[in-house]
Structure 1
Amino acid sequence: MLIASTGGLAVDIAGSFFARGPEALLLDGVPGAAIGFIEAHGLAFILGVMLWRAESARSWHVVGAVVHLLLGTANFLFWQFFTLTGTLAAGYVTTSLHGFFVFGHLCALNAIRSEVPAH
């Protein structure tokens, strides 16, 4: 998530402030429209740092699963963005990785649940 969000921020900044890159087409004449892109990728970066540094606890795996579920679902719902900007490869990779990490967090949750003694 850290790598993808950093790349996303770079593309967002290039498209909104310098009219360069795949987002330039969408942001032509309305660079302020990138606020949502920049906020989303910035928040994904912050959450990525938090998840990277977090202890392996149920609550953090729930957060990780939900964050990746949200981001992967958003990719599906706005798939036309990847089509219009010619970034289908990035869409396939990032959406697949979100699915992979949802699965990984769910597996970790299951493993942690198995370790907790029943009362």
Structure 2
Amino acid sequence: MLAYRNFLLRFDAAFLLIASTGGMTVDIAGSFLARGPEALLLNGVPGAAIGFIEAHGLAFILGVMLWRAGSSLHVVGAAVHLLLGTANLLFWQFFILTGTLAAGYMTAGLHGFFVLAHLAAFNAVRWEVAAR
């Protein structure tokens, strides 16, 4: 089970690092260069992207943390993906307006997967500790 938990933390970290880097790239292109899918929303109002850039930057930092994490951070992983997945669903209109529905389906689905996987891994850690 330890190998699975370590794999889960690394797989999750890789997802967060890759997705946040892509998101940050699209945020910067849309807000400062008026290019890409976010240009329609951010053209002429680059300050509107501050929340996008902060969110993707924090997701990147959490990816770095999970890459180096121990089993105690499965709860953090679940909480991170619960927040990010819920935000994706609450603001689903963003994916529709920017023509990025495929990215929305992929990221929302992976956020849901990681919530369940981290909760299962955390529960396994609790059972291992109780068995000792």
TM-score relative to the length of structure 1: 0.95
Distance 1:6 1:104 in 2: 23
Structure 1 position 34 matched with structure 2 position 37: no
Distance 1:73 1:43 in 2: 16
Q: Give percent identity, aligned residues only.
A: 81
RMSD: 1.1
Q: Aligned residue for 2:95?
A: 82
Count of aligned pairs between the two proteins: 117
Distance 1:116 1:63 in 2: 19
Distance 2:123 2:58 in 1: 27
Distance 1:51 1:99 in 2: 17
Distance 1:91 1:51 in 2: 22
Q: Aligned residue for 1:2?
A: 17
TM-score relative to the length of structure 2: 0.86
C-alpha contact 2:78 2:115 (8 A) present in aligned 1: yes
Which deviations, in whole Å up to 9, do the C-alpha atoms of 1:49-93 show, x marking residues without a partner? 101111122xx1111100000000000000000000000000000
Question: 2:54 corresponds to which letter in structure 1?
Answer: E
- Secondary structure of the equivalent of 1:117? helix
Distance 1:105 1:52 in 2: 14
Q: Aligned residue for 1:43?
A: 58
Distance 1:85 1:75 in 2: 13
Which deviations, in whole Å up to 9, do the C-alpha atoms of 1:5-51 show, x marking residues without a partner? 01000000100111000000000110110010000000000011101
Distance 1:108 1:55 in 2: 12
C-alpha contact 2:71 2:122 (8 A) present in aligned 1: no
* Deviation of 1:117 (Å): 2.8
Distance 1:91 1:53 in 2: 27
